[in-house]
Amino acid sequence: MAAVPAPGLASGPRTGLRTKRYLGAAAGPKGPILTSLCLHLAPTAVDQHPYLGWCRRLVVPLLSLLLGGCESLGYYWQAGEGQWRIYRAQAPVGELVDSPQTAPELRERLIRSQAILEFAHQSLLLPDNGSYRHYADLKRPYVVWNLFASDEFSIQPHHWCYPLVGCLSYRGYFDPDSAIRAASRLQAQGMDTWVAGVRAYSTLGWLDDPLLNTFIEEPEQQLAELIFHELAHQRVFAAGDTEFNESLATVIADEGVRRWAALHHLPHNSEQAALERRAREQVVALVKQTRERLDRLYREDLPTASMRDQKQRLLDQLRTEYQQLRLGPLQRHARYDRWMAGTLNNAKLATIASYHRWVPQIEALLKQQGGDLDALYRALEELAALSADKRKRVLSTHPKYNQ
């Protein structure tokens, strides 16, 4: 998500691995950027201020024309329109809590979300800028649908480039059919694609991100993880580096949940929680191993048909090895079954790297700082200021990050 998609292998149906809450924004950074111009020009409701409607209809498409061709115009339009609909649907949390029309279950969750938010600001030193002070019911299970793509014989994700946030390894759509059509166009060019529903994303502070029905019903620790993750993107962000951004947000969210659970005496360190962490680590390691095998295969000089057959064999092997884990250490853990049962290809597997590539290095940095989050943020900001190549080199080789 930059905007980013939810903790999980895919920011879609929650799997527990992370890919997008991924959206940088994950939901398509242009939407928030363009829409914010209109919102800043006329921040009242369109019904009270017709000028906003004019701004939305004229300024957004005009700027889109300046930023790209016909495909970009259509994409920017849907992104701006989608963000606009979220803005129209939201209401202040305080008003909803006080309203007798609010369902008791929702009221309780909204109150809990504000406690989590205050903890994020006070204890985790994450931005306090108006995000998650409003709630919107979008009447759908996902806020956006992310498109991921890779060449047929490459483990590297395809990137799309946007103003301000740089190049990202996903493209977000507020309409699933639009995402599927875009995927079909890439498939016609011979690319691997994957479309995943995303429950949340960050606009990086361009707008005040609201709480959404797509994630408000998450269990308490998962809700906290999501809020911490998205706010972490607002605290430190390196334009164009999805792996760095998602890894740091993953570490900060995990540490935040650990502290939240300790404060409220929640069973974060229980046997079940330990099982969850081990399961995630084992599945991530399994997918990483498969990507390494595929990378070696793609470097060979083979006929296309033979390369395709060998690729499928390795993907089938991944499923087999996962089933072996399910019969053994993951016997009581079916969380990743749906993800593994679906289409497996380069695009889908590449999403794992986005959320986990630099997690060990950033965890080592946090440990080295003695758990001091302020010191961690300063160190991460220094890394974010480096060029992408130098940042990758430092994280890969410097002893500080590889202990």
Question: pLDDT for 106-146, tens place per residue?
Answer: 999 999 999 999 999 999 999 999 999 999 999 999 999 99
Query: Can you give the pLDDT at residue 29?
Result: 37
* Residues 340 and 392 placed together within one structural domain of the fold: no
- Residue 213, pLDDT > 70, answer yes
Query: Can you give the pLDDT at residue 397?
Result: 85
Closest CA to 235 of 358, 154, 128: 128
* Residues 344 and 373 placed together within one structural domain of the fold: no
Q: How far is the C-alpha of 353 from the C-alpha of 242, rounded, in Å?
A: 9
Distances (CA, A) of 233 to 21, 73, 102, 349: 11, 27, 31, 23
* Residues 272 and 369 placed together within one structural domain of the fold: no
What values do phi and psi take at 171, rounded to 5? -135, 120
Domain count of the fold of the chain: 2
Encoded tokens for 84 = 């606009």
Encoded tokens for 199 = 């429950």
* Residues 151 and 195 placed together within one structural domain of the fold: yes
**Domain of residue 16, residue span:** 1-357
**Buried residues in 248-284 as b, exposed as e (16+ CB within 10 A):** bbbbbbbbbbbbbbeeeebebeeeebeeeeebbebbb
Q: Give SS3 for 358.
A: coil
Percentage of the chain lying above the pLDDT 90 cut: 60
144-151 and 134-136 beta bridge pairing = unpaired
Query: Can you give the pLDDT at residue 380?
Result: 97
Q: Give SS3 for 370.
A: coil
CA 141, 147, 149: angle at the middle one, nearest 5? 150
pLDDT top residue among 58 and 190: 190
* Residues 194 and 238 placed together within one structural domain of the fold: yes
DSSP 8-state code for residue 131: T
- Residue 179, pLDDT > 70, answer yes
Report CA 120 to chain centroid distance, whole Å.
18
* Residues 340 and 233 placed together within one structural domain of the fold: yes
* Residues 292 and 392 placed together within one structural domain of the fold: no
- Each residue's pLDDT tens digit, 316-351: 999 999 999 999 888 878 888 989 988 999 999 998
Percentage of the chain lying above the pLDDT 70 cut: 79
* Residues 133 and 274 placed together within one structural domain of the fold: yes
* Residues 245 and 386 placed together within one structural domain of the fold: no
* Residues 329 and 394 placed together within one structural domain of the fold: no
Query: Can you give the pLDDT at residue 28?
Result: 37
Least confident of 13-27, 146-160, 231-245: 13-27
Q: What is the 3-state secondary structure (H, E, C) of 202-271?
A: CCCCCCCCCEECCCCCCCHHHHHHHHHHHHHHHHCCCCCCHHHHHHHHHHHHHHHHHHHHHHCCCCCCCH
* Residues 336 and 379 placed together within one structural domain of the fold: no
Query: Can you give the pLDDT at residue 37?
Result: 39
Least confident of 227-236, 300-309, 333-342: 333-342
- Confidence class of residue 70 from pLDDT cuts 50, 70 and 90? low
